[in-house]
Amino acid sequence: MPGIRAQRRITRRERRRAARRHGLLAVASAVVAIGAAAGLIEAGQDGRRTTALPEPSPPPVLQPLPAVPTPTAPVRPTASPSTTPTTAPPSPSTSPSPRASRTSAAPAKPSSAAPAPAPASGLFRHPRSHVLEWVRANPDDPRRPVIESRIAAQPAAVWFARYNPGEIAGEVRAVTRGAAAVGRTPVLVPYAIPDRDCGGASQGGAPDFAAYDAWIREFVQGLGAGPAIVILEPDAIALSDCLTASGRAARFASLARAGSTLRAANPEARVYFDGGHSGWHAPAKQAAALRAAGAATSGDGIFTNVANFHRTADERTYARQVLAALGGPAGLGAVIDTSRNGNGAPAAGQWCDPAGRALGRTPTTRTGEDRIDAYLWVKLPGESDGCSGAPGAFAPEYAYGLATG
């Protein structure tokens, strides 16, 4: 009997020890779970920790990016929009997309503000994108590690392609607050100019310039006060030859007002105007259009190569030539889209998810190059031009080819 009692005491002790072990394991599991959640929040932020969290706001509606690169030859004013490559349609607009007003608008007053200082912090990787959704949904795909590390982990632009008054301020605010919470600089792309894409596949935008001006005023309500890079209306200047002279004047005046409004709302924001790319207009012609659109007085410089493939070295040369012809403050600079220009442009006519292309330089604001402010991924690599998948949809095989090219 004493042996039985002793055995029972031993058994009770073992049970108590097991209970303590289980309790410790539960606490450890909770700590690991909390740490994992924190890691997800801070992924890609160089381990930087912040106690500031963005206030709740509606998540941005991420739109398909222009799927097709802009033309590699000058667009002639007499050409039909269907004869030149176009861009993928964004989400349906809440209003029809009539032609631009043919009434010339008064030019905006030149801004006396000096260019904003170049962003000192790193760039923001938004936690929602087509590539991240694919990565999360395909954990066992053999292409996943390469796509995740070489594409999904990189910061990229967030496009605002819907004319959505009443919503746009909240969508922009969600992005800028998220970036501010982790000490990063967002890249924002307003894309709602009237008569967008000259009636091509990405047609849409605001119904007229008064509506567009109001949309921009709502846009800046979400801009915040921290560093930001604004890529103002891709193709709006380089693809303006389809408009009448009065239509171009109205568009350029509206772009000048938009630039002034963005910079006045947030002096830390750098606003870049459409510079086309090195395979399109001659530098002097593009500079003249940029000057007419107020780029020298209402912006901080130009952007080039959006959704295209031209080599970075060619774009640097071209951008400097455009800036020299543009004149204006010495601080004007350029940003270059390097998202898929690693192997340069394909043969003429091969614009739709062309084979043999590769990722370009990773996004950075530290280029080490005179007058080149940043290399950015404005067009998200892996989003289809319409051949390897639906226009604007993420195409994993195409993405994998870019990442391994």
Residues forming the active site: 197, 235, 385
303, β-bridge pairs: 274, 335
Task: For residues 332 and 134, give the distance between their C-alpha atoms in angstroms, rounded to a whole number.
Answer: 38
State how far the alpha carbon of 184 is from the alpha carbons of 115, 120, 187, 333, 399, in Å.
20, 9, 10, 20, 25
For 122, what's the count of Cα atoms within 13 Å in the CB-facing half-sphere? 16
Give the residue among 19, 226, 223, 211 at the shortest CA–CA distance from 100: 211
Q: CB–CB of 338/294 below 8 Å?
A: no
Amino acid, res. 7: Q
Task: For residues 392 and 399, give the distance between their C-alpha atoms in angstroms, rounded to a whole number.
Answer: 12
Task: List all residues 6 or more positions away from 89 whose beta carbon is below 8 Å from its beta carbon.
Answer: 64, 201, 202, 203, 204, 391, 392
Task: List all residues 6 or more positions away from 350 whose beta carbon is below 8 Å from its beta carbon.
Answer: none
Give the residue among 386, 239, 367 at the shortest CA–CA distance from 306: 239
Q: Residue holding tokens 């004047």?
A: 249
